Amino acid sequence: MSAERSILARVLANAGTLLGGRTVNAVVSLGYIALTARGLSPAQMGVLVLINAFAQFLGDVVKFQSWQTVLQYGAGPLLEGDRPRFQQVVRLSLFLDLVSGLAGVTLGVGGAFLLGPVLGWSSQVAPIAALYALTIFVMTSATSVGLLRLFDKFRYLAGEQAISSTVRLIGAAIALSTHAPLWAFLLAWALGPLVSFLYVGIVAWREMGRRNLLEGFRLRGALSEGLPGVWKFAWATNFSSSLDVAFTHVITLMVGALLGPTQAALWRIGRQVADGMAKPARLVIPALYPELAKMRAMGGDAAMRKLAGQIALLGGAVAGVLLLITTLFGKPLLILVMGKAYESAAGVMTWQVAAAAIGVLALPLEPMLVSMRAPGDALRVRMVVCAVFLLALTPLVQTWGLNGAGTALVGAALAMAIGMFLALRVRLARSSVVGDNEPSCAEDAKDAKGGR
């Protein structure tokens, strides 16, 4: 087997390993959402959805995506056996997690009281939302995930979200069987990410210990010294992922604020089904990042391009299958899982699946840019698309309701894919020119800082 085929096989194998856990997670996720929807009225379900979206929104905004820092700056020291440098990368990543977690909780607790009336929360609901915001701290931690990806321990990551969803399923089942109020369902939803956080953290540190990477490790010490461009890289990946929430949690919050909690519930339920259908293909992304990072560390730009092309072809095939399934079975599937009360979410779900299919088609574009130490290029694309999307969202929702939100989502997905493709094309052309002329130290330093 050639080296290129071996790498593709490893990416697909790791994605397949994740698929086992994520398939269970997709089924269990639909289960706990279905139980919650049947235990609450559509209006109450909408309130829960908005509280969860609010917490996830803040978590994603402040989150530094520290797992990417671990991969991009830890792959080299790990391959070279440079333990002190690797420990420094881990220490920096933990620092980013701590700062983002504290910032997220502070904003979440305060925002629950300040923005509650805008989102339709009563004076009784706002304190519950503030307590739920404490989960933001565990949502922002990603160092352990980065370590397990770097160590190729995808079988442990496969269980991460499955554990969270299982805890939520058990909690929702108990709340439903006891006819519990809204706060009990929120408690069940809050316990899921907490248990998952503890699980992945314990496993990651155990794996570091097995590799003697904990010997001499201290939480206090150098953070960014000797890591050129690491702060620009961390901020760029943070901003890029923060902009991505415009297409997930912000749109849910906007629908709730403009149309009410019930419509927000319909949007969230349709999105859950659409994301569940696209999830298997998206699992290629976390399996792709470590391989690209290792190729970059060894100077394998040509192999990176070939691998990205192979993944793009697979993504295109999956996108077509997704649209076909939605067209034929979308509405019956939604009614079967969620019940007749949520039948009206079927129309907007079609838009959501179409947007997901476009994202699947463009799977390798952003990972390629990030792995080439050019997250700033991806950031600029996201900023432009996000700005246009947010400007168009309110009038579209006010004019066409949920279908307006769906139209905006599809348009944004298409614009994002085109923008990432053009940015990557420019970056690859520039890389080819530099490669032909033997890269200078100055050029290498520029690339290490994200191409700025």
pLDDT digits (tens, 9 = 90+) for 189-224: 999 999 999 999 999 999 999 988 998 888 888 888
The DSSP call for residue 342 is G
Say if CB 379 and CB 240 are below 8 A apart.
yes
The DSSP call for residue 402 is H
Contacts 24+ apart (CB under 8 A), 155-158: 155/17, 155/21, 156/200, 156/203, 157/18, 157/21, 157/200, 157/286, 158/17, 158/18, 158/19, 158/20, 158/21, 158/22
Buried b (16+ CB within 10 A) or exposed e, 387-396: eebbeebeeb
3-class state of residue 221 by DSSP = coil
Token pair 């990410």 is found at 193
| Torsions phi, psi for 141 (to 5 deg) | -80, 125
Token pair 């003697």 is found at 212
CA distance 105 to 112: 11
Number of domains in the chain: 1
Which segments of 339-401 does DSSP mark as H helices, in order? Answer: 346-361, 365-371, 375-400
CA 424 to chain centre: 21
Each residue's pLDDT expressed in tens, for the chain with a length of 452 residues: 455 556 555 555 655 555 555 566 777 888 899 999 989 988 899 999 999 999 999 998 888 888 888 888 888 888 888 899 999 999 999 999 999 999 999 999 999 999 888 888 888 999 999 999 999 999 888 899 989 988 888 778 877 878 888 999 999 999 999 999 999 999 999 999 999 999 999 999 999 999 889 988 888 888 888 888 888 888 887 877 777 776 778 889 999 999 989 999 999 888 877 777 776 656 555 555 566 666 666 655 666 667 666 666 776 776 777 778 777 887 887 888 787 878 888 888 889 988 888 887 887 788 788 777 777 788 889 889 989 998 999 999 999 999 999 999 999 999 999 999 999 888 888 766 555 554 443 344 334 333 43
Among candidate residues 258, 285, 308, 290, the one with its CA nearest the CA of residue 46:
258
Contacts of residue 170, Cβ cutoff 8 Å, sequence gap at least 6: 188
The three-point CA angle 280-285-287 to 5° equals 95
3-class state of residue 232 by DSSP = helix
CA distance 346 to 369: 35
* Longest CA span, the chain: 71
How far apart, in Å, are the Cα atoms of 181 and each of 18, 44, 131, 245?
35, 9, 16, 29
- The domain in which residue 196 lies consists of 3-448
Token pair 């080296």 is found at 3
Token pair 């339920």 is found at 269
Structure tokens at 24: 């269970």
pLDDT digits (tens, 9 = 90+) for 135-149: 999 988 889 998 998
